[in-house]
Amino acid sequence: MLLTPETSLQFVKGIGPRIAQTLLEKRIATIEDLLYHLPFRYEDRLRPQAIEELTPGEMASLIGEVRGMALLRTRRMPIFEMTVGQGLGKVKCMWFHGTYMKDRFKAGQWVALYGKVEASRGSNSFKMIQPQVEVLPGGHDDEESKLLEVGRIAPVYETLGNKLASRWQRRVIWRVLEELKGRIPETLPQALCRRLQLPSREDALRWAHFPEAGTSMSQLQSWTTPAQKRLIFEELFYLELGLELKRKKFRQRQGIPFETNDAVRAALRQVLPFHPTKAQKTALGEIVADMRAPEPMRRLLQGDVGSGKTIVALQAMLVAIENGYQAALMAPTEILATQHFLGARKLLERSQQRYKVVLLTGSLDEDRKRANRGMIARGEAQLVIGTHALIEESVDFAKLGLVVVDEQHRFGVLQRFRLMKKPNAGEPDVLVMTATPIPRTLALSLYGDLDLSVLDELPPGRTPILTRQVSDEMADEVWKQVREQVRLGRQAYVVYPVIEGAKEDQPELDFAAGEPEQEAGAAPARKAEGKAGSSGSLFEKPSLPSLKAATDMYHELKAGALKGLRLGLLHGRMDADEKEIIMRRFQRRDLDVLIATTVIEVGVDVPNATMMVIEHAERFGLAQMHQLRGRVGRGTARSYCILMTGGKISPQAGERLAAMVRTQNGFELAELDLRLRGPGEFFGTRQAGIPDFRVANLVRDRDLLELAKVESASFVLAAAEVTEEEKSKVWSRLREAWQRRYGLVDAG
């Protein structure tokens, strides 16, 4: 049968149903999928490194001859040792628990090694612990493997399943490329490729797998060869094109043209408790302009913690309400919803109007929920504040005009849109707020379907927060400082990574049932460290030392270091009423110190709180710590953030802590976070609805993302250089790509 890129892999020679199934589990179903499964590194087997030139501490890839080997049975474990030589130089390799390696090698064989070089005794002598190793073809092997394995730059692939190693993949991919020669269709307009000097798709795929002799190794490893760039660009171009189109399609829908007459403006002024910052004014201006327009609004309001997004949103909601519509605000947690509810009611009391504000969260009791749903359906509720319950509990709005989604990174893209599928003459406007300080260029490119407003200044009169990192041996000092703040009439937070200790070192992540999945408390940091550690020694078993936990420490501090102060405990496993009561008491200054888990991370606003103590700070991610620190420094008084560490601090954790001490700039921290964690974890791919890429990497490929955005916009606009035939090819490719990759085709 004639293979095409769409052919299912089970029809490829050498791939039976079993292997096809393994590949499918890796989301590799067709030949095309396989071709886009690119090597993650390359080995230069044409000009391999010489042993004499190795540098201890660096990663190296080299070729040598097996000189000898032995399986050592030590008391702790069997260790497989093998000496690989090259002229006078030699490298001793060791694999722990290496019994399985024992029969894989023969003296005289040639092998390719990749791993970290360590010094060893003797001249020209080095060590490698657990290097990756491949046996190279020798005399009896067929021509094809010689062609693919030696005397060239060889691609190295992630092992698929636990069997399909690089060597197997090289062969299959090579054969497929040979079979499809001249038949891999181009997916980008020719003129575009020519202008940007991108190789054809077929060439790009071939060279990304099997680089031509002479290709620069450093370009290959940094993903900047023309072939690699072409494939990255292609993926990003289709992402941007999809976003561009969604946005355009959206503009064609009918929205609600809100009016802003004198009465509306007066209503907005009445609720303002302070002079808005310039940034707030500009943002509100942009939002209101959108709301007045006949098309529906889709806007992202981005502002660092404490930049004052809430009041901007509230004013926008008032515009809708004053026009006779309802406004809804969706928050990611019950605490936050409750706080918004209380805050909004308080601000609205300043007005002569009597606005009806209603709360709807999952854990309200059924009667109250029913009553509130009734008010919403009859249109009596003008401002509705809630959690996911708003979209989950079949709420019918009488006349929904504006939806505000707070802290958007907690919601999936699709969910964002579901809320709006309610019957209405015009489509409601949507404002999404986020404190995730996504670097602006990235935000623009990723949320290409949203317009962007940025609050890039903090309200006046804030004094910078003093941040210190101390080990928990200094705890007494810290508690003394807490007492001092309380004596001055201030309040403090003390945050722990887990709710309860010992029994279950569970990170704080739960909320009442029905709430969206929370970012795990300490999990990201833990995970990141796990990864970093895995390249190191195998001796280390990941063991989690017992963590100080909120509940235990609440009792301990109450009876000890903070005796006499009014302490409150807040965590995600409390029910909504309890949480609300505690939050209210803290807000009213009936409590001095709030002992909490990360439930307070997002949005909690108590300007009188001046001290944030984070215990086990080494466990927290940067974004989290930044959010937590953002809970203080909200008033004019000097505020403090103490990062207490107890236990081992990995290099990564050290870097996070140092950054926290160094800067308070959310964008700077986000850049670092993005670098440390990678985009997948940074954005929380699944939650944020940002697609997994096959080739692209948002940190590494930012320039190409920008380029893709520009090119996709001009493609949609005019594309005079493109023929009709090419255009329709691009459109069908787009539909297919979005359907398959992102499943977002009909999302908006």
Per CB under 6 A, 305 contacts ligand ADP: yes
Task: Return the range that interacts with Mg ion (CB under 5 A); candidates 93-101, 316-324, 595-603, 655-663.
Answer: 595-603
**CB nearer to ligand ADP: pick between 134 and 580:** 580
* Angstrom distance (rounded) from CA 550 to CA 548: 7
Handedness of CA 193, 198, 199, 200 (dihedral sign): negative
Question: Which CB contacts under 8 angstroms, 24+ apart, belong to 245-251?
Answer: 245/716, 245/734, 246/448, 246/449, 246/744, 246/747, 246/748, 247/298, 247/448, 247/449, 247/450, 248/716, 249/748, 250/295, 250/296, 250/298, 250/449, 250/748, 251/295
- Least Å distance between CB 600 and ligand ADP? 13
One of 306, 428, 448, 691 touching ligand ADP (CB under 6 A): 306
Per CB under 6 A, 501 contacts ligand ADP: no
Residue type, 11: F
> Nearest-CB residue to Mg ion?
603
Q: Which does 184 bind (CB under 5 to 8 A by kind): Mg ion, ligand ADP, none?
A: none
Q: Are strands 59-73 and 110-119 parallel, antiparallel or unpaired?
A: antiparallel
* Angstrom distance (rounded) from CA 239 to CA 740: 12
**CB nearer to ligand ADP: pick between 78 and 276:** 276
| Other beta carbons within 10 Å of 194 | 10
> Which tokens is 192 given?
């575009």
Q: Which does 277 bind (CB under 5 to 8 A by kind): Mg ion, ligand ADP, none?
A: ligand ADP
Q: Which does 415 bind (CB under 5 to 8 A by kind): ligand ADP, Mg ion, none?
A: none
Q: Which helix (H) or strand (E) holds 251?
A: helix 226-251
Per CB under 6 A, 302 contacts ligand ADP: no
One of 332, 603, 666, 748 touching ligand ADP (CB under 6 A): 603
Q: Which does 311 bind (CB under 5 to 8 A by kind): Mg ion, ligand ADP, none?
A: ligand ADP
Per CB under 6 A, 230 contacts ligand ADP: no
Q: Are strands 609-614 and 567-570 parallel, antiparallel or unpaired?
A: unpaired
Q: How far is CA 583 from CA 32, 518, 553, in A?
A: 54, 19, 19
DSSP per-residue letters across 640-683: EEEEEE-S---HHHHHHHHHHHH---HHHHHHHHHHHHHHHHHH
> Which tokens is 290 given?
């959108």
Look at the block and give the residue holding tokens 């409150």.
568
One of 276, 514, 678, 680 touching ligand ADP (CB under 6 A): 276
**CB nearer to Mg ion: pick between 264 and 359:** 359
- Least Å distance between CB 315 and ligand ADP? 11
- Least Å distance between CB 670 and ligand ADP? 15
* Angstrom distance (rounded) from CA 670 to CA 679: 11
Is 724:224 a contact under the CB 8 Å cutoff?
no
**CB nearer to ligand ADP: pick between 115 and 633:** 633
**635 exposed, middle or buried (CB, 10 Å; 0-12, 13-18, 19+)?**
middle
- Least Å distance between CB 54 and Mg ion? 53
One of 187, 280, 326, 664 touching ligand ADP (CB under 6 A): 280
Q: Which does 305 bind (CB under 5 to 8 A by kind): ligand ADP, Mg ion, none?
A: ligand ADP
Per CB under 6 A, 307 contacts ligand ADP: yes
Site map for ligand ADP, 648-667, x if CB under 6 A?
Answer: --------------------
- Least Å distance between CB 328 and ligand ADP? 17
Per CB under 5 A, 603 contacts Mg ion: yes
Helices (H), 330-463: 334-348, 366-378, 389-392, 413-418, 440-446
Helix (H, G, I), strand (E, B) or coil at 465: strand
Q: How far is CA 504 from CA 249, 498, 548, in A?
A: 50, 9, 11
DSSP per-residue letters across 316-351: HHHHHHHTT-EEEEE-SSHHHHHHHHHHHHHHHTTS
One of 30, 228, 310, 518 touching ligand ADP (CB under 6 A): 310
Site map for ligand ADP, 541-570, x if CB under 6 A?
Answer: ------------------------------
Per CB under 6 A, 605 contacts ligand ADP: yes
- Least Å distance between CB 280 and ligand ADP? 6
Helix-then-strand count for the chain, H and E: 26, 21
**CB nearer to ligand ADP: pick between 195 and 440:** 440
> Nearest-CB residue to ligand ADP?
308
- Least Å distance between CB 496 and Mg ion? 23
Task: Return the range that interacts with ligand ADP (CB under 6 A); candidates 19-27, 306-314, 611-619, 650-658.
Answer: 306-314
**334 exposed, middle or buried (CB, 10 Å; 0-12, 13-18, 19+)?**
buried
Among positions 417-456, residues that touch ligand ADP (CB under 6 A) are 435
The site that binds ligand ADP (CB under 6 A) totals a number of residues, namely: 19
Look at the block and give the residue holding tokens 């509810």.
341
Q: Which does 90 bind (CB under 5 to 8 A by kind): Mg ion, ligand ADP, none?
A: none
Helix (H, G, I), strand (E, B) or coil at 53: helix
One of 634, 656, 694, 709 touching ligand ADP (CB under 6 A): 634
Q: Which residues bind Mg ion (CB under 5 A)?
A: 603
What are the residues binding ligand ADP (CB under 6 A)?
A: 274-277, 280, 303, 305-311, 435, 459, 603, 605, 607, 634
